[in-house]
Structure 1
Amino acid sequence: MTMETKNGHPCDYLFDCLIGEATAAERKAFERHLAECPSCSRQWNEMLEVWNSLPGVMDSSEPPDGLKEEVMKSIFGAERKGPSKEPASAAEPNQPLVPAPEAGYPQPARKRHRRKYAWGTTVAAVFLAVCVWFYASHGEESFVVNAVEQPLYVEQTYVLNAADNNVNEAQGTGWIVCQGNKKKLVLNTSGLATTSNDEAYQVWLIHDGKRQNAGTFWVDPKGNGVLVYDLPRRDAEFDTIGITLEPDSRGTQPRGKKVLGN
């Protein structure tokens, strides 16, 4: 039998467990819930994958207290209200609460607002991970200040599939994240081949047959990568996203093989 929380559904504990605000009892309840909810288990593992995709610099530099929580609150639009409680420690990035569900396990029907909360949490994890990585890399908070001043919301989601049917493990997800009058394209990829020498993955936004360079990124030894691109205020429309493996990061037109696209 599914355990209900004070908020009406056990899925509501995912956010608190992520940022370390869940009590020990709530964390245990969420662990039990993950064992029977493939949707929440998949979302949790996606967030762990995002953390693992970031450079090792995060291991040697600790962001300021409260940064993670503030960015997450911004992405969800407002602070979560409720009685104060003694938080339990946040989950370790490399330690899933429970094993991932078996492939092909049927997904339960969920209400629309639950699905919206779920993918909102996933993109929040991606954006939060990028913010924390940037702080760890540069040692200052200028990049993340704006992330907590106005609420963020996801305008559109893109699913990227492997261009080569023989490389089924390559995949990616893209989100257009809006904040005030600004928009960012946030990409999370996995299963890509590691690069060598000057090689880099390059992102292209295609509209009416014209390609726009949206930046380059590299992947970790497991083939995971993250990119955040500021969309221009004008002429920001695009129909499709393409990712190519390029000989270097200096190209203005694709020269390499396409690996992902929608």
Structure 2
Amino acid sequence: MNIVNNPCDQLFSYFVNDLDDHERNEFELHLSACSSCQEELAELSKTWEMLPMELDEVEPPPHWKAEILGEITGSHPEANMEESAEGKNIWVHTSRPGKARRAASIAAACLLIIGAASWWGINQMQRLEQAAERTELMPSQFVAQYDLKSFDQAHPEAKGKAWIAQKGATTQLVLQTSGLPALEGEQAYQVWLVKKGERSNCGTFRVDLQGNGIMTYTLKEAGKDFDTIGITLEPDPGGTQPRGKKMLGI
């Protein structure tokens, strides 16, 4: 049984079906009256639905699932609440406020997506519908988090999150966006890492009709050190330098 002080902290365990019947019934009663949990559950579900529909769901390895749930529910009760709320580490314990908890839950959902994508050898959103040779699944850890804000006055609602994930010797950039304008024709959103004015191309992604998108990119050693992240709207995915408008950045 999961013992927590705040019913909201059961949200992620509920999402991954890690509650017993009694806990599940109690949380569903709480969920019916908690708008914050309802909103967060909708965001988690939306992120999870970005997985390819034709692939069967896979139960995560027990040690991997335990790592994620341990970080979300909090294994350090002695930690200071204020410091945790202001910290950049996306893993949070049970006393964190709603926004930090939501970021951690979404990050964990993205972590599950990365693992599933790695399981089938899928590295980018536009290739998620293609089955690939399975590779060995390794535990992942998010080591940095960034908030992406809109740089386009015509779409102030656009936003996103970026995470740096460490999986063994591999470092990945993980992106999640929402509110971006729908693409037309060959248009694509392109991701750039900038270091001292020099831009590195990190690939492209597409979005659904609501502007939701997700992308993972394996960083080379030289690309692990950067000053900022930018996302531009490009006429096609073939550019080596930005040609279009900057839509999101940090």
**1:10: Cα distance to partner?**
2.3
Query: Which structure ranks higher in relative contact order (CA pairs < 8 Å, sequence separation ≥ 6)?
Result: 1
Match of 2:200 among 191, 212, 230: 212
Gaps of 5+ in 2: 74-80, 85-92, 121-127
Residue among 63, 66, 72 paired with 2:59: 66
* Alignment-derived partner of residue 16 in structure 2: 19
Distance in 2, matches of 1:180 and 1:119, equals: 23
Query: 2:105 corresponds to which residue?
Result: 121
Q: Which residue of 1 aligns with 2:185?
A: 197
Q: 2:44 aligns with which of 38, 44, 47?
A: 47
Q: What are the ranges of 5 or more consecutive residues in structure 1 without an aligned counterpart?
A: 81-108
- Contact 2:200/2:223 (<8 A) preserved: no
The correspondence for 2:171, drawn from 160, 183, 186, is 183
Distance in 2, matches of 1:18 and 1:210, equals: 41
Q: What is the TM-score when the length of structure 2 is the normalising length?
A: 0.75
Q: Look up the match of 1:137.
A: 129
Secondary structure in 2 aligned to 1:252? Answer: coil
State the alpha-carbon separation in 1 of the partners of residues 187 and 233 from structure 2.
Answer: 7
CA contact (8 A) 1:246 1:256 kept: yes
The two structures, once aligned, show a CA RMSD in angstroms of: 3.1
C-alpha separation between the residues in 2 aligned to 1:209 and 1:238? 10
| Matched residue type, 2:59 | G
Instruction: Give, in whole Å, the separation in 1 of the partners of 2:201 and 2:229.
Output: 10
- 1:120 and 1:154 in contact (8 A); partners too: no
Residue type of the partner of 2:53?
D
Match of 1:6 in 2: 3
For the structure 1 residues 60 and 142, does the alpha-carbon distance in structure 2 shift closer, same or farther, using more than 3 Å as the test? closer
| TM-score (normalised: structure 1) | 0.72
3-state SS of paired residue (2:108): helix
- Deviations 1:170-218 (CA, angstroms, capped at 9, x unpaired): 1101111123332211100011111121111000011111100011000
How many residues of Structure 1 are paired with residues of Structure 2 in the alignment? Answer: 222
SS of the residue corresponding to residue 59 of structure 1 reads coil
Give the 3-state SS of the residue equivalent to 2:181 in structure 1. coil
Q: Distance in 1 between matches of 2:15 and 2:62?
A: 9
Q: Distance in 2 between matches of 1:70 and 1:118?
A: 23
